Amino acid sequence: MEIIVDHTLSLRAVTVEDTERVFAITDASRSTLREWLPWLDMTTEVQHTRAYIESNIAGYKERKCLSAVILFHGKIVGIAGFNNINHANETVYIGYWLSKGAQGHGIMTKVVHALCQYAFEELQFNKVEIRAAVGNTKSRAIPERLGFVKEGTIRSAEWLYDHFVDHVVYGMLANEWTKTS
Ligand SMILES: CC(C)(COP(=O)(O)OP(=O)(O)OC[C@H]1O[C@@H](n2cnc3c(N)ncnc32)[C@H](O)[C@@H]1OP(=O)(O)O)[C@@H](O)C(=O)NCCC(=O)NCCS
């Protein structure tokens, strides 16, 4: 899978050759990412990133998930994709993170727009869902910018190291996407 977003930005399915770079940006952005992602303390060595990538490649082969590297001017700056692909319900669940230095430029909003287009046009699915912690304003701003509908809140949806956070659920349906994009 490869998606050219524009002349500076593209996405492609992650490969084991990406391991070193993905681990390097994870390590360099550790404190920023750890605020909202639960796996930083389990990702302390390059082999942990390799195991994550290998399990994603296996999941992709079974059409269960899709993890893509984000390339900005040819360099990997983050990961985005479908954490889960639910074929029976024609729904994908998008997840994402960006290295510290790549944040604040609108990269992820463009990437998520491209992933929605892929889900609706390529996969012909009916729904894209994004879940973010209530306090994660930067993440929530992405579905909000793209016109997703805020569908509700799930209480104590995720354990983050030493506390639970509630999640806000955002949804976009295929028929809404055609009208907004
Ligand atoms: C969530 C996350 C990817 C958001 O990153 P981001 O850089 O804020 O998102 P975008 O790339 O879409 O950029 C938006 C920012 O760029 C600015 N921007 C500049 N040009 C822009 C453009 N053309 N379009 C949209 N935004 C633009 C926006 O104003 C915004 O900045 P602001 O928050 O200061 O207003 C990032 O904070 C992250 O990796 N967080 C940790 C992991 C995480 O929380 N993942 C999600 C779990 S649900």
pLDDT of residue 178: 85
If you average pLDDT over every residue of the chain, what do you get?
97
Over residues 114-164, the pLDDT tens digits come to 999 999 999 999 999 999 999 999 999 999 999 999 999 999 999 999 999
Closest residue by Cα to atom 2, ligand 1, is 139
Q: Residues 51-59: what's their mean pLDDT?
A: 98
Give the distance (Å) from ligand 1 centre to CA of residue 46: 26
Could you tell me the two tokens for 32?
A: 């920023």
Nearest to 127 by CA among 86, 173, 85, 83: 173
Q: Residues 26-48: what's their mean pLDDT?
A: 98
The minimum-distance atom of ligand 1 relative to the CA of 109 is 12
Phi, psi (rounded to 5 degrees) for 174: -55, -45
Give the distance (Å) from ligand 1 centre to CA of residue 109: 7
- Here the CATH number for the domain that contains residue 100 is 3.40.630.30
Contacts of 141 (CB under 8 A, 6+ apart): none
**In which element (H, E) is residue 156 found?**
strand 149-160
Give the distance (Å) from ligand 1 centre to CA of residue 62: 31
Is residue 86 predicted with pLDDT exceeding 80?
yes
Report the domain count for the chain: 1
Q: How far apart (Å, rounded) are the C-alpha atoms in residues 70 and 89?
A: 27
pLDDT of residue 107: 98
**Residue 131 belongs to what domain range?**
2-180
Is residue 180 predicted with pLDDT exceeding 90?
no
> What is the share, in percent, of the chain residues with pLDDT greater than 70?
99
Identify which of 6, 98, 111, 128 to mutate to test ligand 1's pocket (most ligand atoms within 8 A of the CB): 98
Is residue 89 predicted with pLDDT exceeding 80?
yes
